[in-house]
């Protein structure tokens, strides 16, 4: 199994793409630490994994709280002999025209979708640097590549996450740490299902494959970057969107 013996952190692992990623990595041999603000969902993932004999542990994590990030990182490093990977998968959004946004919401969007990943990466990089190995995968969004109506600040944060990925990849190359990014398009997650039905239908029609993606399909791309098959790939952005976005 590609991930045998590897310890990997997955944020946002309580549901959607993060949950699918955590289970896929574990099924391929990884020991997975799920971090999420949703304690009920996080425990459910750990219990589901245990029923399959998989190594998935849940630890609470609020990416908008610097103290929570420090506590989470310390707990992971206390339990893991080494850390082989980090999947920055957590994110949050609410579709609304920019001029209707509550400015107070901007801070939460940026904290959850960008700065949380920045802070957690910083906290978990030291053992990877010491070992001269590791994989970081950020899950951004095609909204950050091409923009998205009703998601302006969210798109800005995800665009920042893409730029963070590329810049961190340059800095970490000397330590043999790969840093790559997966950009999902519309995907069948609780976040997508919370959007108005008219928007869901419009997005589905716009996709060349005429269907939205599944969390499992995105998880496969994440595992590629987290595993050994991508050892000579870094600083790259992979869109998983059924052809919705085709940009250079």
Pick the closest to residue 93 from 154, 157, 183, 14 (CA basis): 154
- Tell me what pLDDT residue 23 has: 98
Q: Is 203 exposed, middle or buried (0-12, 13-18, 19+ CB in 10 A)?
A: middle
Residues 6+ apart with CB under 8 A from 120: 9, 11, 35, 61, 63, 69, 72, 73, 86, 88
Judge whether residue 144 has pLDDT over 60.
Answer: yes
Domain assignment present for 247: no
pLDDT score, position 49: 97
Full residue range of the structural domain in which residue 138 is found: 7-240
Given pLDDT bands bounded at 50, 70 and 90, which one contains residue 248? low
Does 1 map to a domain?
no
**Integer Cα distance of 80 and 77 in angstroms:** 5
Residue 120 lies in a domain: yes
Determine, yes or no, domain membership for 246.
no
Domain contains 154: yes
Q: What is the pLDDT of residues 184-217, one digit of tens each?
A: 988 887 777 777 777 778 778 888 888 888 999 9
For residue 248, being part of any structural domain is answered with no
Q: What is the pLDDT of residues 36-75, one digit of tens each?
A: 999 999 999 999 999 999 999 999 999 999 999 999 999 9
- CA distances 44 to 34, 39, 86, 91, Å, are 11, 8, 21, 19
Q: Which of 6-10, 24-28, 43-47, 188-192 has the lowest mean pLDDT?
A: 188-192
* Separation CA 75–CA 227 (nearest Å): 23
Whole-number mean pLDDT of the chain? 92
- pLDDT per position as a tens digit, 96-127: 777 778 888 889 899 999 999 999 999 999 99
**Whole-number Cα distances in Å, 100 to 82, 197, 198:** 46, 20, 19
Listed in sequence order, the residues at least 6 apart from 174 whose beta carbon sits closer than 8 Å to its beta carbon are none
Give the pLDDT confidence score for residue 197 in this predicted structure: 77
Instruction: Please tell me the total count of domains within the chain.
Output: 1
Residue 142: give its domain's CATH number: 3.40.50.720
Contacts of 223 (CB under 8 A, 6+ apart): 2, 3, 21, 24, 25, 28
| Residue 169 resides in a domain | yes
- The residues carrying an active-site annotation are 154
pLDDT value of position 1? 65
Torsion angle defined by CA atoms of residues 44, 142, 241 and 61, in that order, rounded to the nearest 10 degrees: -10
Domain assignment present for 33:
yes
- Global confidence as pTM: 0.92
């Amino acid at each position: 199994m590609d991930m045998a013996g590897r310890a990997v952190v997955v944020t946002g692992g309580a549901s959607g793409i993060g949950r699918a990623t955590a289970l896929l990595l574990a099924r391929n041999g990884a020991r997975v630490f799920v971090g999420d603000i949703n304690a009920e969902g996080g425990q459910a993932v750990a219990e589901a994994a245990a029923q399959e004999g998989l190594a998935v542990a849940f630890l609470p994590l609020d990416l908008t709280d610097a103290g929570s990030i420090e506590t989470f990182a310390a707990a992971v490093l206390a339990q893991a002999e080494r850390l082989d990977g980090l999947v920055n998968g957590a994110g949050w959004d609410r579709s609304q025209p920019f001029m209707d946004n509550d400015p107070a919401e901007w801070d939460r969007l940026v904290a959850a979708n960008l700065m949380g990943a920045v802070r957690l990466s910083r906290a978990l990089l030291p053992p990877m640097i010491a070992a001269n190995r590791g994989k970081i995968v950020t899950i951004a969004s095609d909204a950050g590549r091409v923009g998205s109506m009703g998601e302006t600040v969210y798109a800005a944060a995800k665009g920042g996450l893409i730029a963070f990925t590329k810049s961190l990849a340059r800095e970490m190359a000397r330590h043999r740490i790969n840093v790559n990014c997966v950009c999902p398009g519309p995907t069948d997650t609780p976040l997508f299902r919370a959007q108005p039905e008219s928007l869901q239908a419009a997005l589905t029609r716009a996709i060349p494959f005429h269907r939205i993606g599944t969390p499992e399909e995105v998880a496969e791309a994440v595992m590629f970057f987290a595993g050994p098959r991508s050892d000579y790939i870094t600083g790259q952005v992979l869109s998983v969107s059924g052809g919705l976005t085709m940009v250079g």
